[in-house]
Amino acid sequence: MDKKAMILVVDDEHGVRQSFNMVLKDEYNVLLAENGKQAIDIFTKNAVDLILLDILIPDINGIDLLEKLKEIDPNVEIIMVTAVKEIQTAVKAIKLGAYEYVIKPFVVDDVLTLIHRALEKRSLLREVTYLRGELKRHQPFEKMVGEHESLQAVFDLIRTISKSDGAVLIQGESGTGKELVARAIHNSVSRKHKPFVVINCAAIPPTLMESELFGYNKGAFTGAAGTTMGKLEIANKGTVFLDDIDSLDVNMQAKLLRAIQEKEFERLGSTKVIRSDIRFVAASNRSIRELISRGKFREDLYYRLNVFPIILPPLRERKSDIPLLLNHFLELNSKKSGKPAKRFSKKAVNALMKYSWPGNVRELENMVERLTTITRKTVINIQDVSAFNIDFGNITRGMKLKDAVSAFEKNYISEVLDNVGGNRRKAAQTLGIHRNTLFVKMNEPADITGEI
């Protein structure tokens, strides 16, 4: 394991506690409790991973203590310690959430094997929780594409900072690929096999942000029906990507700063300190310095995050990469659809390189996906591009009248189709033309039924 797990031994016999301590102390951090009250007190104040719990302790029934401990943290693994005559009670404990039981006098190798398996289960649970969250996420594109010197400088910086665990602040316009850079940073270091957890600060309401980051215990607030791990706990040993960090409430910024500085936090409704080993990568599409001057962002948090600053260039400043990006997204869409890849005509590419791309790479990706879906031809030409409604005047400027009229028609037809949900029959009726005429203008096969 990357760090020593913490094990709490609960047994009223001094000799048993010391035996476990001697067996476990080299490989694990060990805490000892001689009764239930002491066990609960230690457990609520420490990030315990596993408990060795004697069934017979003086001040509380072992089964009742098991339930109390599981109520505080359902994810903790508990191994019951029992005598032969108490095996039926141990089996009952397993039904209530205990991982397994060991019988006194115990065999050291058996105990160590059992503990290892229980901790492995706990680790897998954390990983499953992370993966479930990742399955809900849409990754906009698979890899970073570009040969422009400004982007190559970013690649060089990523390779350099991969040798450090320092925080990174990525700044750039929306759609420039900030999350992609964050993933590249994560994947280039020893953390790449650990969780990469994304927290979209703009999408989470301020009232929910604290519980999202730090997690909460049952009863911490109205509706908290169970104990839930926060994103920072899930991300232990991995990377947290704080997207749109500029949207984070100032009060929440102070709590995040403490978690970054101290490398520890508590769940809502708990005093137990949870220690974390996380690399923080934050991103913003607004000037953080300007927000600081307006009192909207803490200066100390800015300096804590800005250990390694990365500025991403907008697409309009690296237009030479547009042909590469177009081919990249055409290939991706081909793999997704299982159909041969289409291509852009030379005139279409030249027109797209004149466009300013306010939505950057994301806008270009969306355009390619739409065009490959609605265009039936193998080659996407300038008239098809104009139908995407991007700076239409700029695209058509310099065209011959016939081509400009055709481009306008495609653009207008596309808008009408959007308004009627893609229904060709309704679109033809709205446009006041025959359905076959619509197919011709869209470069599609005619409708043999001849219906309008």
Lowest mean pLDDT among 99-113, 138-152, 280-294, 305-319: 138-152
pLDDT of residue 286: 93
pLDDT at 403 over 80: no
Number of domains in the chain: 3
When pLDDT is cut at 50, 70 and 90, the band that residue 221 belongs to is: confident
pLDDT of residue 449: 39
pLDDT value of residue 292: 96
CATH of the domain at 389: 1.10.8.60
Looking at 313, 334, 367, which one is the last position of a domain? Answer: 313
Residues 295, 154 within the same domain = yes
pLDDT score, position 53: 93
Q: Are residues 63 and 176 in the same domain?
A: no
Residue identified by tokens 């979209």 is: 200
Structure confidence by residue, pLDDT tens digits, 303-329:
999 999 999 999 999 999 999 999 999
Rounded to whole angstroms, the Cα distance separating 169 from 192 reads 19
- Confidence (pLDDT) at 391: 54
Radius of gyration of the chain (CA): 30
Higher pLDDT residue, 74 or 41? 41
> What is the arithmetic mean of pLDDT over 1-30?
87
In a domain, 37, yes or no: yes
What's the pLDDT score for residue 295?
94
pLDDT, mean of residues 115-131: 77
Q: Are 225 and 187 members of one domain?
A: yes
Assess whether pLDDT exceeds 80 at residue 131: no
Position 264 in a domain:
yes
Give the tokens for residue 212.
């999202």
**8 A C-beta contact, residue 77 and residue 97:** no
Could you tell me the pLDDT band of residue 427, with boundaries at 50, 70 and 90?
confident
**Does the residue 431 lie in any domain?**
no
In eight-state DSSP terms, residue 204 is S
What's 257's domain CATH number? Answer: 3.40.50.300
Question: What DSSP line would sit under 317-374, residue for residue?
Answer: G-GGGHHHHHHHHHHHHHHHHTS---EE-HHHHHHHHHS--TTHHHHHHHHHHHHHHH
Say how many C-beta atoms besides its own lie within 10 A of residue 18's C-beta.
13
The dihedral over CA atoms of 140, 145, 151, 155, expressed in degrees to the nearest 10, equals 90
Angle at 121 between CA 118 and CA 127, to 5 degrees: 150
Burial of 279 (0-12, 13-18, 19+ CB in 10 A): buried
Domain of residue 281 covers: 149-313
Residues 255, 388: one domain?
Answer: no
Q: Closest by alpha carbon to 54, among 79, 26, 84, 85?
A: 79
**What is the per-residue burial (b if ≥16 Cβ within 10 Å, else e) of 47-66?**
bbbbbbbbbebeeeebbebb
Model confidence at 390: pLDDT above 60? no
Residue 372: enclosing H or E segment and its boundaries? helix 360-374
Quote the CA–CA distance of 382 and 408 in Å, as a whole number: 11
pLDDT digits (tens, 9 = 90+) for 35-56: 999 999 999 888 899 999 998 8
At residue 129, φ and ψ (nearest 5 deg) are -60, -40
Looking at 279, 313, 347, the residue that finishes a domain is 313
What is the average per-residue pLDDT within 198-219?
A: 93
Tokens representing residue 142 in the block: 């698979």
237 or 422, which is more confident? Answer: 237
Q: Could you read off the pLDDT of 340-373 as tens digits, one per residue?
A: 889 998 888 988 988 889 999 999 999 999 888 8
Whether 158 and 305 share a structural domain: yes
Q: Per DSSP, which regions of 84-181 are E strands?
A: 100-103, 168-171
At residue 139, the pLDDT reads 40
- 413 pLDDT above the threshold of 90: no
Confidence of residue 136 (pLDDT cuts 50, 70, 90): very low
Bond before 195 cis per omega within 30 degrees? no
Ramachandran assignment for 200, one of left (phi > 0), alpha (psi -120 to 50 degrees), beta (any other): beta
Instruction: Read off the pLDDT of residues 365-389 as tens digits, 9 standing for 90 and up.
Output: 999 998 888 888 888 888 788 766 5
By CB neighbour count within 10 A (0-12 exposed, 13-18 middle, 19+ buried), where does 208 fall?
Answer: exposed
Residue-averaged pLDDT of the chain = 85
pLDDT, tens only, 440-452: 776 654 443 333 3
Verify that 308 and 326 share a domain, yes or no.
no
Answer whether residue 1 is part of any domain: no
Q: What is the mean pLDDT of residues 424-446?
A: 74
The more confidently predicted of residues 376 and 11 is 11
Residue in this structure with the two tokens 């604290």, named with its chain if needed: 210
* Rounded (10°) CA dihedral 383, 388, 394, 396: 20
Q: Are residues 42 and 181 in the same domain?
A: no
Lowest mean pLDDT among 148-162, 328-342, 390-404: 390-404
Mean pLDDT confidence for 83-102:
82
What is the DSSP annotation of 205-231? -HHHHHHHHHEE-TTSSTT--S-EE-H
Tell me, yes or no, whether 272 lies in a domain: yes
Query: What angle (nearest 5°) sits at the alpha carbon of residue 217, between those of residues 238 and 222?
Result: 125
| Domain match, 326 and 413 both | yes
Say if residue 242 is in the same domain as residue 156. Answer: yes
Query: What pLDDT sits at residue 110?
Result: 86
Per-residue pLDDT, averaged over 280-308, amounts to 96
Task: Let me know whether 190 and 73 are in one domain.
Answer: no
Please indicate, yes or no, whether residues 308 and 320 belong to a single structural domain of this protein. no
Same domain membership, residue 165 and residue 104: no
